[in-house]
C-alpha cells in the first residue's frame, strides 16, 4: 500500500526539523569548542604529511620485508636455563646502524637471560677484499662493541700472527682454489676460526671464575646449558631461539658442506663447533681432504669431479665444518634462519638466502631495491 501525500509531508517536516536541530547543535558546539576544531585540523595536516613522507621514503629508500623481526611469544619459556651468546668477527662501520639493531631484536630480546661475550680484532680500517666486493677501505670504530657487551676481547693482529703463523703456512699449501689466488680468503677463514675459538675461551674463563667460588661437587659442572655462536658483522632477519635445537645451523649457503655463519645448541655440541677446528686439522688432512694436486687423485675421484660429484679441494670453510661435525657425531637441524652479510659502505648482500624455502628468493629481493655495486660485479643492496 502506498503512502498518502500527507504522510510524505509529515516525513519531510520531521526530517527538516531534525536537520535544523542538528545544524543548531553544530553551531553551538563550534562556539564552545573552537580550540578542539583547531587541534583536530592540525592533527589531520600532520597525518597527511606523515603519509606523504612515508610514500616518498618507500619510493626512494630500501625497506625491509614485513615478515622480518617477527616477535617470539615463547621467549620466557627457558627463563631458568643458563645460556651464553657468543659473537665473533669484525665490528664494521655499519655495526650500530645495521648489525646491532638486528642482533638486539632477533637474538638478545629472544634470549634475554643469556650472558653475552665477544671476540673481535683491534683494527682501525676494513681491509680491501675484492672477493667480498670491498674495493675501498673504511674506518672502523671498534669501541662500538661496548654497546653489545662489556665481556669483550680486542685481539691485536700481531697476536694472531704470532700464534697462528705455523697453521697459516701449513694450510695455505692446500688453499681452496675456487676462492681465487692464495691467500686473502684463506687467511680470513683462519682468522674466523681464531675469533670463534677466542670467544669460546672468553666464556670458558668466565665459567672458571664462577666455579672457583663454588664447592667441589659443583666445580665439575658447566655453567651454561645452551650456547649460541653468531657473526657480529651480519644482519639477522628473523628471531632465533637458541633453545629450539641441540645443534642448529641456518639452511642456506651450504656450498657442499654446512653454513658456517652461526651455530647454536647444547654446550657439548657448541664446544665442538667452536673449539675443535685447529685440533681437527691433522684428522682432516689425513682422512678427509683431497690434495689440490689433481694428478694425485685416484681415478674414481676424477670421474666424480667430471660429473659434479662430491669432492674435496683443500681447505674450504663450509665443507670443513661439515666434516668436523660429522666426525664427532653431531646431528644437525637445519633451520630457516636467513642471515644477510654486511659489506663495507653499509651494503647488504640481500640475495644471500636466494632459494631458501619460505624466505626471500632472488626475485623477492629485487623488490627491495637490488642493484649492482659500483664496479658492476655483484648484486648488493645499498642503504640510503
> Domain of 154: which CATH number?
3.90.550
* 203 part of a folded domain: yes
* 25 part of a folded domain: no
* 318 part of a folded domain: yes
Q: Are 202 and 154 in contact (CB under 8 A)?
A: no
Give the Cα separation of 202 and 122 in Å (integer): 16
* 283 part of a folded domain: yes
Give the Cα separation of 219 and 211 in Å (integer): 5
* Angle of the 184-212 helix axis to the 267-275 helix axis, nearest 10: 140
What is the structure's pLDDT at 276?
97
174: β partners: none
Give the Cα separation of 238 and 216 in Å (integer): 41
Q: What is the pLDDT along the chain (384 residues), one digit of tens a residue?
A: 444 444 444 444 444 454 445 455 445 555 555 555 565 566 655 554 443 443 333 333 334 443 344 444 444 577 788 999 999 999 988 898 889 999 999 999 999 999 999 999 998 877 766 666 565 666 778 899 999 999 999 999 999 999 999 999 999 888 776 666 778 888 999 999 999 999 999 999 999 888 877 766 655 567 899 999 999 999 998 899 999 999 999 988 888 889 999 999 999 999 999 999 999 999 998 888 865 555 555 666 666 666 654 444 678 889 899 999 999 999 999 998 988 888 776 677 777 777 666 555 555 554 443 345 555 444 444 443
Residues sharing a CB contact under 8 Å with residue 114, sequence separation 6 or more, in sequence order = 83, 84, 85, 108, 228, 242
* 352 part of a folded domain: no
What is the structure's pLDDT at 314?
79
Give the Cα separation of 88 and 194 in Å (integer): 9
In the chain, what is the straight-line distance between the N-terminal and C-terminal CA atoms, in Å? 70
What is the structure's pLDDT at 312?
47
* 8 part of a folded domain: no
Element (H, E) at 372: strand 371-372
Give the Cα separation of 305 and 307 in Å (integer): 5
Domain enclosing residue 212, as ranges? 83-345
What is the structure's pLDDT at 383?
41
Q: Are 118 and 199 in contact (CB under 8 A)?
A: yes
Give 8-16 contacts, CB < 8 A, sequence gap 24+: none
Q: Extract the C-alpha cell encoding 373.
A: 655495486
Quote the number of domains for the chain: 1
Give 97-103 contacts, CB < 8 A, sequence gap 24+: 97/346, 97/383, 98/235, 98/342, 98/346, 98/348, 98/383, 99/232, 99/233, 99/234, 99/235, 99/342, 100/144, 100/147, 100/148, 102/69, 102/234, 102/235, 102/236, 102/237, 103/148, 103/230, 103/232, 103/236
Residues sharing a CB contact under 8 Å with residue 40, sequence separation 6 or more, in sequence order = none
* 371 part of a folded domain: no
Dihedral class, residue 81 (left if φ above 0, else alpha if ψ from -120 to 50, else beta): beta
DSSP letter string over 176-188? -GGG-SSSHHHHH
Residue 69 CB coordination number (10 Å): 16
What is the structure's pLDDT at 184?
84
125: β partners: 139
Torsion angle in degrees (nearest 10) through CA of 8, 14, 19, 20: 120
* Angle of the 317-327 helix axis to the 267-275 helix axis, nearest 10: 140
Amino acid at each position: 500500500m502506498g503512502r498518502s501525500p500527507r504522510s510524505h509531508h509529515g516525513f519531510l517536516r520531521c526530517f527538516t526539523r531534525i536537520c535544523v536541530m542538528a545544524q543548531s547543535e553544530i553551531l553551538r558546539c563550534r562556539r564552545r569548542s573552537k580550540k578542539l576544531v583547531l587541534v583536530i585540523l592540525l592533527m589531520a595536516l600532520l597525518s597527511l604529511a606523515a603519509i606523504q613522507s612515508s610514500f616518498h621514503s618507500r619510493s626512494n629508500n630500501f625497506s625491509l620485508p614485513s615478515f622480518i623481526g617477527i616477535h617470539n611469544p615463547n621467549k620466557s619459556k627457558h627463563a631458568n636455563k643458563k645460556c651464553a651468546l657468543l659473537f665473533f668477527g669484525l665490528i664494521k662501520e655499519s655495526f650500530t646502524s645495521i648489525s646491532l639493531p638486528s642482533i638486539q631484536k632477533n637474538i638478545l630480546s629472544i634470549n634475554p637471560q643469556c650472558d653475552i661475550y665477544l671476540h673481535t680484532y683491534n683494527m682501525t680500517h676494513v681491509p680491501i677484499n675484492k672477493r667480498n666486493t670491498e674495493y675501498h677501505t673504511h674506518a672502523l670504530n671498534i669501541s662500538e662493541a661496548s654497546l653489545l657487551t662489556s665481556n669483550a676481547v680486542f685481539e691485536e693482529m700481531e697476536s694472531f700472527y704470532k700464534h697462528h703463523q705455523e697453521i697459516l703456512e701449513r694450510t695455505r699449501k692446500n688453499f681452496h682454489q675456487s676462492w681465487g689466488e692464495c691467500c686473502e680468503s684463506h687467511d680470513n677463514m683462519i682468522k674466523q676460526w681464531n675469533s670463534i675459538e677466542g670467544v669460546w675461551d672468553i666464556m670458558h674463563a668466565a665459567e672458571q671464575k664462577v666455579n672457583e667460588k663454588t664447592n667441589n661437587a659443583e666445580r665439575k659442572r658447566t655453567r651454561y646449558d645452551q650456547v649460541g655462536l653468531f657473526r657480529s658483522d651480519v644482519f639477522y632477519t628473523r628471531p632465533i631461539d637458541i633453545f629450539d635445537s641441540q645443534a642448529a645451523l641456518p639452511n642456506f649457503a651450504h656450498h657442499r658442506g654446512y653454513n658456517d655463519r652461526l651455530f647454536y645448541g647444547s654446550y657439548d655440541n657448541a664446544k665442538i663447533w667452536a673449539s675443535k677446528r685447529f685440533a681437527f686439522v691433522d684428522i682432516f688432512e689425513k682422512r678427509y681432504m683431497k690434495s689440490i694436486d689433481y694428478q694425485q687423485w685416484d681415478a674414481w675421484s676424477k670421474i666424480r669431479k667430471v660429473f659434479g660429484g662430491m669432492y674435496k679441494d683443500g681447505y674450504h670453510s663450509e665443507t670443513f665444518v661439515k666434516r668436523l661435525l660429522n666426525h664427532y657425531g653431531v646431528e644437525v637441524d637445519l633451520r630457516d634462519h636467513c642471515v644477510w652479510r654486511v659489506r663495507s659502505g653499509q651494503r647488504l648482500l640481500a640475495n644471500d638466502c636466494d632459494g631458501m624455502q619460505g624466505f626471500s628468493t632472488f626475485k623477492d629481493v629485487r623488490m627491495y631495491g637490488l642493484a649492482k655495486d659500483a664496479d658492476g660485479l655483484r648484486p648488493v643492496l645499498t642503504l640510503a
